[in-house]
Amino acid sequence: MTDAMRAETITISGHGGDEIEAYLARPLDSGSRGGVVVIHHMPGYDAATKEIVRRFAVHGYNALCPNLYSREAPGADPDDAAAAVRAAGGVPDDRLVGDVDGAARYLRALDGANGKIGVIGYCSGGRQTFLSACSLQIDAAVDCYGAFVVNEPPEGAPVTMKPILGLAPQLSCPLLGLFGAEDNFPSPEETAKLSAELDRLGKPHEFHTFDDAGHAFFAVDRPAYRPAAVVEGWKHVFEFFGTHL
Amino acid sequence: MCTYLTEKFEIEGSGKAAKGWFSLSEATVYVDHPVHAPYAHTVNIDFLNPADGPSARVPVELTEEAALALADAIHRALAAAPPGLASAANAGK
């Protein structure tokens, strides 16, 4: 047993066969292991997101985060890339699914991969996680405060940000939801509607809504960070992936 | 919360970023999470030239009070100058 890992920027084949940048972290000891696709938050493929990718490798998973802004902003600072994509209207849903599929295929092909794939996403990546889990064969999905799965976004929001509750019958795996009680997007009412629909469809899910937490409470480099919710949240994530991957 | 809402409009002028001065072609204004300012939400203004790539960007992250003070100061400065002095229509005059 060793706790050594390797973390690096690689190129993977994403939607439409496009070559896109991605950040890979993997444990170096031998053994069969699941893979985790990390979907970065709206502010982009940044240092805090790469830290999350490495955290999964520390816990024994191969983890891979595709840079969803690779096409518009190759090599740009994450904040410049996020601003460029925001100004251009966001990431189209079909492209997102293709990029997550490419990341999952890469993880399944790694030596020692057990074939199981989890997806976790934050902020806009929470909605994109639900979208991926309803569009691809996934083994476990974690939605961290993804909005507009159920509710219509405010007037003027990008057309890429439409509700996707209608996809729920195709949800391919158990869903863990981690939300803040003080968040407005998604509000506790929105996540309750999602939970009720999944109950109706008989889709396994486990939702936790943390008091004293709003949107983006996992963001270690922002004032929204809430240590108590994060400690509890990571515990749920690793129990959930431990069960399903 | 992430608002996802973005005001975008065409502009004429110049800005300066790490690579030096460049022409500006559009601006965006949005109330959302800042990258650097120590607040949960700020008024974020980006001056951009997408044709020059994502790094052709002059961003600021302002509190609501600062952004409104900026808007007022712009109006006061223009009101104090001869009408149309800084207008694109008066270029070169």
Give the model confidence (pLDDT) of A29-85 as tens digits: 998 999 999 999 999 999 999 999 999 999 999 999 999 999 999 989 999 999 999
Dihedral sign for Cα A48, A36, A207, A96, please: positive
Contact state of A81 with B54 under an 8 Å Cβ cutoff: yes
Q: Which residues contact B1 (CB under 8 A, 6 or more apart)?
A: A147, A183, A184, A185, A214, A215, B41
Number of domains in chain A: 1
Which residues of chain B neighbour A87 with C-beta distances below 8 Å?
A: 6, 8, 26, 28, 46, 48, 50
What average pLDDT does the segment A78-96 reach?
A: 92
Does residue A138 carry a pLDDT above 80? yes
**Which H or E run includes A236?**
helix A227-244
Residue A29's Cα: distance from chain center in Å? 25
What average pLDDT does the segment A108-129 reach?
A: 96
Q: What is the pLDDT of residue B1?
A: 60
B28 DSSP β-pair partners: B8, B46
Mean pLDDT over the full length of chain A:
95
A157 versus B41: which is more confidently predicted? B41
A205 versus A87: which is more confidently predicted? A205
Q: What is the pLDDT of residue A160?
A: 72
Does residue A166 carry a pLDDT above 80? yes
Distance from CA of A47 to the nearest CA of B (A): 12
Q: Which residues contact A69 (CB under 8 A, 6 or more apart)?
A: A44, A45, A76, A78, A81, A82, A84, A85, A91
Q: Pick A87's closest partner by Cβ from B8, B38, B39.
A: B8
How many Å apart are CA B66 and CA B84, to the nearest integer? 26
Q: Which amino acid is at A6?
A: R
Residues of chain B with confidence (pLDDT) below 50: none
What average pLDDT does the segment A112-120 reach?
A: 97
**Whole-complex ipTM:** 0.78
Distances (CA, A) of A84 to A9, A64, A130, A153, B51: 21, 23, 24, 20, 11
pLDDT in tens, A178-219: 999 999 999 999 999 999 999 999 999 999 999 999 999 999
pTM score: 0.90
Does residue A12 carry a pLDDT above 90? yes
Q: What is the CATH number of the domain that holds A19?
A: 3.40.50.1820
Query: Residue A123 is part of which domain span?
Result: 5-244
Residue A143's Cα: distance from chain center in Å? 7
How many Å apart are CA A96 and CA A193, to the nearest integer? 24
Does residue A159 carry a pLDDT above 70? no
Which residues of chain B neighbour A42 with C-beta distances below 8 Å?
A: 2, 4
Which residues of chain A neighbour B6 with C-beta distances below 8 Å?
A: 86-87, 156, 158
Contact state of B50 with A42 under an 8 Å Cβ cutoff: no
pLDDT in tens, A211-242: 999 999 999 988 899 999 999 999 999 999 99
Q: What is the pLDDT of residue A87?
A: 86
Q: What is the pLDDT of residue B40?
A: 87
Does residue A5 carry a pLDDT above 70? yes
* B38 secondary structure, DSSP code: S
Contact state of B40 with A224 under an 8 Å Cβ cutoff: yes
Distance from CA of B37 to the nearest CA of A (A): 9
